[in-house]
Amino acid sequence: PQTEHTTPPPRTGAGRVSTDRFCTGCGKPLVAGVKFCSHCGKAAA
């Protein structure tokens, strides 16, 4: 069998979202750094 380096599954928040936040208005996940929820437009807490 080949000893290749298999890419590990991406961990949630690995280089993308540092902290998982959710919109207090609609409950959709918020991307770190955004000022408003992209779904309902409510200001991010």
The total of structural domains in the chain comes to 1
Does the residue 45 lie in any domain? yes
Residue type, 6: T
Q: Which long-range contacts (CB under 8 A, 24 or more apart) does 30-39 make?
A: none
Q: C-alpha angle 25/43/17, rounded to 5°?
A: 90
Is residue 16 classed as helix, strand or coil in its secondary structure?
Answer: coil
**How many C-beta neighbours within 10 Å does residue 44 have?**
17
Supply the mean pLDDT for the chain.
73
Q: Higher confidence at residue 28 or residue 18?
A: 28
Domain that holds residue 40: 19-45
Does the residue 7 lie in any domain? no
What would the pLDDT profile of 25-44 be if each residue is shown by its tens digit? 888 888 878 888 888 999 87
Q: What is the pLDDT of residue 5?
A: 67
Does the residue 6 lie in any domain? no
Q: What is the pLDDT of residue 20?
A: 64
Q: Are 37 and 28 in contact (CB under 8 A)?
A: yes
Does the residue 36 lie in any domain? yes
